[in-house]
């Protein structure tokens, strides 16, 4: 069996409910490693994962790197705590090492304070052996390779590298939210950021098929599938929006149509969220990115609901959002061309300084409750 040691940071700062956070993280790790016959257990300093020698390390690294709540992890070789065993284990680890190095340092830690050698003495003894074995030189400030030795009560772990996890909180420890998934670059990144805060997500996508082609709908399905690896189960609500749009085009002044579109999206999303059990809505809005995302318009759009609307990207630059989309693997799907519902019948000069009062005035002739109810009756729901 091989071993991985997982460290968490933010969870360690929790109080009496810390154990619940850790147990949720253990459950999420078990789910992500399902099929690999891994054994996940807690200990005083983190979480230990035992997995078969037949499982490639690259597969473990790939999976653990995407689990929220993990700050960092390392793949370790297990050893007895006697110095001769430690040296043999260090030799084995170095023989399997693929990282080139000319300089190195030892980083020894002793949670077992009764161990007869101090951390400094361990560093000196093992470091002298590594110098003789490899010809490498000790460099304590900026080594090419760091060899870490952790001494526990009856076991020691030897490792060469720390891998980063996404940090944050385990998915499932915070409330459930519903994310408006447009098919563009921003909303998948917004959903990802809510995962990082421990929220499970459902997804809501508005489309104008068959008035436009099905490309927007297909993109939303791909994005929802991609994001679904972060939780046990995901629901994608596909919302037909054409009837609402036609009603708005017939009765709302052109400059306010995009605002009316989005106000109705929020109304429908709120109704879906209540059915879904979500406590809040999430959008990918960022101040000033497009005409509908001025502060005035964001306020006008949000005024149709009392449900909280979270906007995790609100002060984020487009380039930062793109970088994160590439990092989480949604960018290539998001940039595929499509015909989304908001590009249909867009006025030449949309309002940028709207007010709720004017928006309500322009929507006077629309029976919003009836439209929302009819739309909800025609939802398509996909489960991943």
- The pLDDT tens digits for 9-36 are 888 888 888 999 999 999 999 999 988 8
The structural domains of the chain, with segments of one domain joined by +, span 2-164, 177-383
Look at 211 and 41; give whichever has higher pLDDT: 41
Mean of the pLDDT values across residues 290-300? 93
Residue 243 near residue 374, CB atoms below 8 Å: yes
- Which pLDDT score, from 0 to 100, does residue 340 have? 66
- Which pLDDT score, from 0 to 100, does residue 46 have? 84
Phi, then psi, of 15 in degrees rounded to 5: -95, -120
Alpha carbons 41 and 377: distance in angstroms, whole number: 46
Structure tokens given for 334:
């998001």
- The pLDDT tens digits for 321-333 are 999 999 999 999 9
Sign for the pseudo-dihedral over CA of 142, 167, 6, 164: negative
- Which pLDDT score, from 0 to 100, does residue 322 have? 97
- Which pLDDT score, from 0 to 100, does residue 343 have? 60
Place of tokens 């959903």: 191
pLDDT over 90 for what percent of the chain?
A: 81
Cα 350 to Cα 55, 185, 199, 345, 347, distances in angstroms? 56, 22, 34, 11, 6
Cis status, amide bond into 210, omega within 30 of 0? yes
- Which pLDDT score, from 0 to 100, does residue 202 have? 98
Residues sharing a CB contact under 8 Å with residue 117, sequence separation 6 or more, in sequence order: 83, 125
pTM of the model: 0.87
Spatial strand order of the sheet with 280-282 comes to 309-310, 280-282, 177-180, 201-207, 235-240, 380-383
Give me the CATH code for the 177-383 domain, please: 3.40.50.620
* Average pLDDT along the chain: 93
pLDDT score of 344 more than 60: no
- Among 37-51, 68-82, 158-172, 180-194, where is mean pLDDT lowest? 37-51
Residues sharing a CB contact under 8 Å with residue 275, sequence separation 6 or more, in sequence order: 376
Mention the CATH class of domain 2-164. Answer: alpha beta
């Amino acid at each position: 069996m091989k071993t991985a040691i997982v460290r968490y940071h933010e969870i360690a700062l929790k109080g009496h409910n810390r154990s619940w956070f850790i147990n949720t993280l253990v459950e999420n790790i078990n789910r992500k490693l399902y099929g690999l016959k891994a054994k996940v257990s807690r200990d005083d300093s983190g979480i230990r994962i035992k997995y078969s020698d037949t499982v490639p390390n690259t597969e473990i690294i790939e999976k653990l790197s995407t689990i929220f709540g993990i700050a960092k992890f390392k793949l370790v070789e297990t050893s007895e705590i006697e110095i001769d065993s430690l040296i043999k284990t260090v030799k084995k680890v170095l023989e399997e090492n693929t990282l080139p190095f000319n300089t190195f340092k030892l980083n020894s830690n002793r949670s077992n304070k009764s161990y007869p050698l101090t951390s400094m003495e361990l560093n000196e003894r093992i470091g002298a052996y590594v110098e003789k074995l490899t010809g490498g030189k000790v460099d304590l400030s900026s080594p090419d390779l760091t060899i870490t030795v952790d001494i526990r009560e009856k076991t020691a772990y030897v490792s060469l590298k720390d891998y980063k996890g996404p940090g944050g909180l385990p998915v499932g420890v915070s409330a459930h939210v519903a994310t408006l998934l447009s098919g563009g670059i921003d909303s998948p990144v917004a959903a990802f950021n809510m995962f990082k805060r421990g929220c499970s997500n459902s997804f809501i996508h508005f489309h104008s098929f068959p008035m436009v082609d099905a490309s927007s709908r297909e993109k939303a399905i791909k994005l929802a599938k991609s994001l679904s690896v972060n939780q046990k189960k995901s629901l994608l609500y596909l919302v037909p929006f054409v009837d609402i749009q036609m009603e708005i085009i017939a009765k709302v002044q052109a400059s306010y149509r995009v605002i009316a579109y989005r106000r109705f999206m929020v109304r429908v999303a709120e109704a879906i969220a209540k059915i879904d059990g979500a406590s809040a809505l999430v959008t990918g809005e960022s101040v000033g990115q497009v005409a509908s995302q001025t502060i005035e318009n964001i306020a006008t759009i949000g005024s149709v609901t009392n449900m909280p609307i979270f906007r995790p990207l609100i002060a984020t630059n487009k380039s930062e959002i793109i970088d994160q989309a590439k990092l989480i693997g949604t960018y290539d799907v998001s940039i595929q061309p499509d015909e989304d519902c908001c590009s249909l019948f867009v006025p030449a000069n949309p309002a940028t300084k709207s007010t709720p009062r004017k928006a309500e005035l322009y929507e006077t002739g629309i029976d919003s409750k009836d439209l929302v109810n009819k739309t909800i009756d025609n939802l398509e729901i996909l489960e991943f």
